[in-house]
Amino acid sequence: MTRKPVDTGSPDRLYTVTGGRSRADGFFDLVTLVVSECRPTPGMQSEHARTLELCEHPTAVVEIAAELKLPITVVRILLGDLLDMGRITARHPPPTRSAASLPDSDLLKEVLHGLRNL
């Protein structure tokens, strides 16, 4: 926890990166896996270009945020742009359940199997 908050008092950079927007639609979960559908093009916003490079292989939203050193909210907005332009695809986690319900036992069995084989 040694990093300084990016935002406190000076949100200018984030404001610029997102073109002034400050709301993400929640479409991208922390562990949604993002895959590039094209290479960066000249003149593209640098954060977009960097995201496309990172996502040459599937990359979770939270990893993109860590690599770009940007808050997750900002990354969600950038990803929304790229998705709208058809430059990425998103592989979502299993559908969000209500808080009290559990994932499918078959899925959990697969998780257990994976952990035991580590």
Partner 1 sequence: MGSAISELPSHRTPLADAAETGLKIVVVGGFGVGKTTLVRSVSEIRPLNTEEVMTQAGVGVDETGDVATKTTTTVAFDFGRISLNERMVLYMFGAPGQERFWFLWDRLFSGTLGAVVLVDTRRMDDSWYAIDRLEHHRTPFVVAVNRFDDDTVRHSLDEIRQALALPEHVPMVDCDARVRESGKNVLITLVDHLYELAMAQEATP
Least distance (Å) between residue 5 CB and partner 1: 4
Choose between 7 and 44: whose C-beta lies nearer to partner 1.
7
Identify the residue whose tokens are 């990166």. 17
Least distance (Å) between residue 50 CB and partner 1: 12
Which residues sit at the interface with partner 1, rule CB under 8 A? 1, 3, 5-8, 11, 14-15, 21-24, 26, 29-33, 54, 56-60, 62-63, 65-67, 71-74, 91, 93-94, 96-97, 99-105, 108-116, 118
Choose between 41 and 92: whose C-beta lies nearer to partner 1.
92
Which residues pair with residue 59 across a beta bridge? Answer: 34
Residue type, 69: K
**CA 94, CA 38: separation in Å to the nearest integer?**
26
Does the CA dihedral 60-34-29-23 come out positive or negative? positive
Least distance (Å) between residue 63 CB and partner 1: 7
Q: What are phi and psi of 105, to 5 degrees?
A: -65, -30
Choose between 13 and 85: whose C-beta lies nearer to partner 1.
13
**Angle at Cα 56 formed by Cα 54 and Cα 61, nearest 5°?**
50
